[in-house]
Chains A and B, each alone.
Chain A
Amino acid sequence: MSVALKSWRANEGPKHLITMVWIAANVFLFWKTFMVYFSEAQYYYLHKMLGLGLCISRASASVLNFNCSLVLLPMCRSLLTFLRGSQRLLNRRTVFHTCLTYAVIVLVHVSAHLVNMVSFSVRYSEDFPGLNVAQYRGQVTHTDTHMDIFFPGVTGVLLVLVLFLMFTASSYCIRVSSYEIFWYTHNLFIVFYVILMVHVAGGALKYQSNVETHPPGCVQNNLSSWTNHRAAGEKGTESSGAPQTVCQEEARFQPHFPQTWLWVSAPLCLYCAERFYRFIRSSAAPVTIVSVISHPCSVVELRMLKSGFKPHPGQYILLNCPSVSSFENHPFTLTTVSPFVLVWKCVFLPTCNISNLTVCCAFSSHPRVHVDGPFGSPSEEVFNYEVSLCVAGGIGVTPFACVLQALFDDWRQYKLKRLYFVWVCRDLQSFYWFADLLCGLHERLWRDNRPDYLNVQLYLSNTQGLQSISEERYRFLSSRLRIGRPKWKLIFQEIGRANQLKRVGVFCCGPKGISKALHTLCNSNPHTETAFEYNKESFS
């Protein structure tokens, strides 16, 4: 299958571009810092003492600074929602975030500093006592006592431990099986940043502050002949015959200003400001639960009202129920915008705690809930294309239900001219969740003389037994119900033929298998006149 360049460029281009820019930035920072410590005059003596370990550890430290500051930015959900516009690469927020954590090249940094510890001890300098960190020569290798684990060392070990806990709890398996472990360990990032600020304040590595009056390698009057000879030997290769410069004063060393504070403080302040804003916004207006409705296949619908809450179709919120758990926030997509409605399935693991909410509501003692949001999600972009394909798997129909509801209210105001809606379910009963909405929208569009606006295909992947939607009022759906899994290639071919020279937005909310298949098809469809742009929904 030929790769459709136009689609590929639209789907994969921005992602690869951002990755390359980021790698280039990291490599540039590493190289620049490496060269500073390798060849600059103010680090001359320190470099002689520590060697390559100094350059590697400082260069990796600057890369760490860069990444620690960047890591926070994709998690500023409100800011991203505000900036959303038409920037599809912001949807890969979580992927970007996880790649950044991988890049925290901790092991390089730690290893290099370990080597530095040995170097500080072995090459203890009697000539420049201010530069030393060890208390005497050979403190690490020869004697029984460990070197004093000075401040940056202790904090460094603590940082690695916190990062270790966060990293091991954030793999996909843990997130899927025990979301709380992931959530609670990930909130240790506050501890991480606090210790990070303290870690860099140690001042173990010093630069020379009086390079003009004491150029490195200059000859001192009262220095031992061995040092003079060594200095002379090095300078001799560069400027033989030139007179040796005489030092006007002793070398003075100063620890440099912790650069990390500059790197990290801005994103940290931005993130803290955003959390504060979200906290105020969620606790300012109370949320009233209007009704709780139970649907077939253990699905619950929750209708709520909150004053001043104006979400757009396709957005999601974070729900927090203090009576269930004070710290957990779970994401839910909205299915209608006023009053806003949440629909969720009780068997999904991350939401199982919230099923206790259902029990509370069943006894009509509505618990207090807090709603944080609304936040943008890819489904908002459905209206920005002329033609959109929305694929929903099971309960993944919720973002599209909001879209359908918005179309039902007024389809004319949007740029969207045609919507292909494919819904794959395992159980026939699942289609009844939004059967009324689909039929209502179809009827409305027929009356408004736009019969080709909405194209619905329903697929039942469970092929056992005879199944059909028998109600008369759902005849529209029963004629579009197919048994078996959808054949995506045929669907794409049909859409491509009917919409040539157009950009089709493909939106998927469902199992990974479906979204992977769609993603591959978007990039490699044979209809090169139609560009299929893939937008993936993701929560975790």
Chain B
Amino acid sequence: MGKIEWAMWANEQALAAGLIYATGGIVGVAGQFRGWQFAAFGIAAGVFVCLLEYPRSKRGKGTSVERTGQYCFTVCVNAFGPLTRNYYVRAFLHAALCVPGGFMLATVLGCVCLGIASLIYLSAAIHGEHWEPILPRTEPPKRVGDSIKEPPQNPPPRPPPELRRKKADKLETAAYDNPMSVTVNE
């Protein structure tokens, strides 16, 4: 069995956790629970995590399946370079984002789910995985070779002289000179 790709599972988890975090935050803010500021933070953090996790990484081996419409997200996430490519950074970022959620009941679920996702990302980072953008492959345009500009130096190959000779009575109409002399009876 090939290696398990932990990052793929962590990605799905983080996306779902972001949604749960944001929903818990909405409930907390709408219900005006005590500590609704944490809920507001939860909404922001949840949305941010969703945007960060939406573009899938390219798989190490095998075909990668993109999520619908992920190209623009891929470009944005790729622009941050090593910050987003490295899974250690992601693991610590998720761990940091999930902590404020633990202070309020409505966001506690989001906190725990994001924490689990952060642990799986840590495991992925330890296994040496990193995020690769799925970019459309640009085919190199088929270019005609430069040699098309140079005319040939040599004439095309011809059959050996014995086969090229013309009969003596057709010498006048021949297109080329006979390579060897011919007599009438040949």
Contact residues of A with B, CB < 8 Å? 107, 110-111, 114-115, 117-118, 140-142, 146-147, 157, 160-161, 164-165, 167-169, 171-174, 176-178, 180-181, 349, 352-353
Q: Report whether B2 and A169 are in contact in the complex, using a CB–CB cutoff of 8 Å.
A: no
Q: Report whether B8 and A178 are in contact in the complex, using a CB–CB cutoff of 8 Å.
A: yes
Task: Pick the contact of A164: B16, B28, B34 (CB < 8 A).
Answer: B16
> In the docked arrangement, what's the CA distance between A413 and B99, Å?
69
Q: Report whether B2 and A352 are in contact in the complex, using a CB–CB cutoff of 8 Å.
A: yes
B172 to chain A, nearest CB (A): 47
A114-B106, A157-B108 in contact; A164/B8 too (CB < 8 A)? no
Contact sample, A vs B, 15 pairs, CB 8 Å cutoff: A140-B105, A141-B34, A157-B109, A161-B112, A161-B116, A164-B17, A164-B116, A169-B9, A172-B65, A173-B12, A173-B56, A174-B8, A174-B9, A177-B8, A178-B8
> In the docked arrangement, what's the CA distance between A290 and B33, Å?
68
Q: Report whether B9 and A161 are in contact in the complex, using a CB–CB cutoff of 8 Å.
A: no
A426 to chain B, nearest CB (A): 15
Q: Chain B: which residue is nearest A153 at the CB level? A: B105
Which residues of chain A have C-beta atoms less than 8 A from B13's C-beta? 164-165, 168
B residues 43-81 touching A (CB-CB < 8 Å): 56, 59, 62, 65
Q: Report whether A114 and B27 are in contact in the complex, using a CB–CB cutoff of 8 Å.
A: yes
> In the docked arrangement, what's the CA distance between A146 and B116, Å?
24
Q: Report whether A353 and B1 are in contact in the complex, using a CB–CB cutoff of 8 Å.
A: yes
Q: Determine whether B31 belongs to the interface, using a CB cutoff of 8 Å to chain A.
A: yes
B161 to chain A, nearest CB (A): 36
Q: Report whether B20 and A140 are in contact in the complex, using a CB–CB cutoff of 8 Å.
A: no
A168 to chain B, nearest CB (A): 4
> In the docked arrangement, what's the CA distance between A171 and B9, Å?
9
Q: Report whether A111 and B27 are in contact in the complex, using a CB–CB cutoff of 8 Å.
A: yes
> In the docked arrangement, what's the CA distance between A140 and B56, Å?
40
Q: Determine whether B23 belongs to the interface, using a CB cutoff of 8 Å to chain A.
A: yes
Q: Report whether A107 and B23 are in contact in the complex, using a CB–CB cutoff of 8 Å.
A: yes
Q: Report whether B1 and A352 are in contact in the complex, using a CB–CB cutoff of 8 Å.
A: yes
Q: Determine whether B175 belongs to the interface, using a CB cutoff of 8 Å to chain A.
A: no
Which residues of chain B have C-beta atoms less than 8 A from A176's C-beta? 62
> In the docked arrangement, what's the CA distance between A5 and B60, Å?
45
Which residues of chain B have C-beta atoms less than 8 A from A173's C-beta? 8, 12, 56, 65
Which residues of chain B have C-beta atoms less than 8 A from A114's C-beta? 24, 27-28, 31, 33, 105-106
> In the docked arrangement, what's the CA distance between A174 and B7, Å?
10
> In the docked arrangement, what's the CA distance between A520 and B64, Å?
25
Q: Chain B: which residue is nearest A350 at the CB level? A: B1
Which residues of chain A have C-beta atoms less than 8 A from B62's C-beta? 176-177, 349
> In the docked arrangement, what's the CA distance between A169 and B15, Å?
12
B22 to chain A, nearest CB (A): 11
B6 to chain A, nearest CB (A): 8
Closest CB pairs A-B (n = 7):
A168-B12, A168-B13, A178-B4, A352-B1, A111-B27, A141-B34, A353-B1
Q: Chain A: which residue is nearest B10 at the CB level? A: A168
> In the docked arrangement, what's the CA distance between A234 and B85, Å?
63
> In the docked arrangement, what's the CA distance between A177 and B17, Å?
21
Pick from B2, B17, B59, B105 the residue with the most CB of A within 10 Å: B105
Q: Determine whether B5 belongs to the interface, using a CB cutoff of 8 Å to chain A.
A: yes
Q: Report whether A141 and B20 are in contact in the complex, using a CB–CB cutoff of 8 Å.
A: no
Q: Report whether B113 and A178 are in contact in the complex, using a CB–CB cutoff of 8 Å.
A: no
B68 to chain A, nearest CB (A): 13
Which residues of chain B have C-beta atoms less than 8 A from A147's C-beta? 105
Which residues of chain A have C-beta atoms less than 8 A from B8's C-beta? 173-174, 177-178
Which residues of chain B have C-beta atoms less than 8 A from A161's C-beta? 109, 112-113, 116
A115-B27, A161-B113, A169-B9 in contact; A180/B4 too (CB < 8 A)? yes
B110 to chain A, nearest CB (A): 10
Which residues of chain B have C-beta atoms less than 8 A from A172's C-beta? 65
Q: Report whether B1 and A115 are in contact in the complex, using a CB–CB cutoff of 8 Å.
A: no
Q: Chain B: which residue is nearest A355 at the CB level? A: B1
Which residues of chain A have C-beta atoms less than 8 A from B65's C-beta? 172-173
A167-B16, A168-B13, A178-B8 in contact; A349/B2 too (CB < 8 A)? yes
Q: Chain B: which residue is nearest A167 at the CB level? A: B16
Q: Report whether A349 and B27 are in contact in the complex, using a CB–CB cutoff of 8 Å.
A: no
A291 to chain B, nearest CB (A): 25
Q: Chain A: which residue is nearest B27 at the CB level? A: A111
Which residues of chain B have C-beta atoms less than 8 A from A349's C-beta? 1-2, 62
Q: Report whether B9 and A168 are in contact in the complex, using a CB–CB cutoff of 8 Å.
A: yes
A133 to chain B, nearest CB (A): 14
B21 to chain A, nearest CB (A): 12
Pick from A110, A142, A164, A165 the residue with the most CB of B within 10 Å: A164
Q: Chain B: which residue is nearest A110 at the CB level? A: B109
Q: Report whether B1 and A180 are in contact in the complex, using a CB–CB cutoff of 8 Å.
A: yes
Q: Report whether B105 and A117 are in contact in the complex, using a CB–CB cutoff of 8 Å.
A: yes
A121 to chain B, nearest CB (A): 10
Q: Report whether B106 and A142 are in contact in the complex, using a CB–CB cutoff of 8 Å.
A: no
Q: Report whether A177 and B109 are in contact in the complex, using a CB–CB cutoff of 8 Å.
A: no
A183 to chain B, nearest CB (A): 12
Which residues of chain A have C-beta atoms less than 8 A from B109's C-beta? 110, 157, 160-161
> In the docked arrangement, what's the CA distance between A174 and B59, Å?
11
Which residues of chain B have C-beta atoms less than 8 A from A168's C-beta? 9, 12-13, 16
> In the docked arrangement, what's the CA distance between A266 and B91, Å?
43
Q: Report whether A174 and B12 are in contact in the complex, using a CB–CB cutoff of 8 Å.
A: yes
B40 to chain A, nearest CB (A): 16
> In the docked arrangement, what's the CA distance between A177 and B16, Å?
19
Q: Report whether A177 and B34 are in contact in the complex, using a CB–CB cutoff of 8 Å.
A: no
Which residues of chain A have C-beta atoms less than 8 A from B105's C-beta? 114, 117, 140, 146-147
> In the docked arrangement, what's the CA distance between A168 and B27, Å?
23
Task: Pick the contact of A141: B9, B12, B33, B108 (CB < 8 A).
Answer: B33
Q: Report whether A165 and B116 are in contact in the complex, using a CB–CB cutoff of 8 Å.
A: yes
Q: Chain B: which residue is nearest A179 at the CB level? A: B1
> In the docked arrangement, what's the CA distance between A167 and B112, Å?
15
Which residues of chain A have C-beta atoms less than 8 A from B59's C-beta? 177
Which residues of chain B have C-beta atoms less than 8 A from A164's C-beta? 13, 16-17, 20, 113, 116
